Amino acid sequence: MAVKYGDLELAYDFVSSGPYGDHSALLNRSTGQIYWASESGDLDEISEEMWESDDAVEIPRKDDLDLGSRLVFRFVDSHVPDDYGRVRDMFSSRGAYARYKQFLASKGLLEKWYAYEAEAQERALRDWAGENGIELT
C-alpha cells in the first residue's frame, strides 16, 4: 500500500516535536494507515497488538535519522567552517537551536539552513521508507 509523503512527514514532525518517548506513531505497511499516540495529549494509545504486528513500523524521530545536531554540524562544516567551534559551544547547553538560528540569521544563512534541513529531511524520510518497504506517493 502506498503512503503519501506528506502524511509520513506529518507523523515524523509529530514524533519529533516532543521529548523523547512523548509522541509516537506507527505505520501499517499493509493498509498505509498511520496510528498516533501521545503521553501528554488526548490521543489514544496504540494497541499492543498493533505494536507487535509484522506490518507495523515505528515512525522515526529526528535523531533516528541523524537530522539533529549532526545535521547542524554538517551544515556548519560546509558553509561556515571557521565558526565550527563557536557553534559546538552553542550546543553544550539548553537553548542551542535558538542561539544557532540567531547566529545563522546574523550571517544571512537562516533561509539557506531551512532549505538544507528540509532537503536532508526529505531525503532521509524517503530512504527510510525504501528501507522499510514503504512506497511513497
**Spans of all domains in the chain:** 2-60, 69-118
* pLDDT over 90 at 42, yes or no: no
The answer to whether 55 and 29 are in contact (CB under 8 A) is: yes
> Cα separation of 16 and 51, whole Å?
19
**pLDDT at res. 92:** 95
- How far apart are the C-alpha atoms of 84 and 5, rounded to whole Å? 33
Whole-angstrom distance, CA of residue 5 vs CA of residue 79:
29
pLDDT in tens, 91-134: 999 999 999 999 999 999 999 999 999 999 999 999 999 999 99
More confident site: 22 or 74: 74
- Please report how the helices 110-131 and 69-79 are oriented relative to each other, as an axis angle in degrees rounded to 10: 130
Q: How confident is the model at residue 19 (pLDDT cuts 50, 70, 90)?
A: confident
> How do residues 65-91 score in pLDDT, each as one tens digit?
999 999 999 999 999 999 999 999 999
| pLDDT beyond 90 at 57 | yes
- Give the distance, in angstroms, between the CA of residue 48 and the centroid of all CA atoms in the same chain: 24
pTM equals: 0.87
**Does the structure show a pLDDT above 70 at 48?**
yes
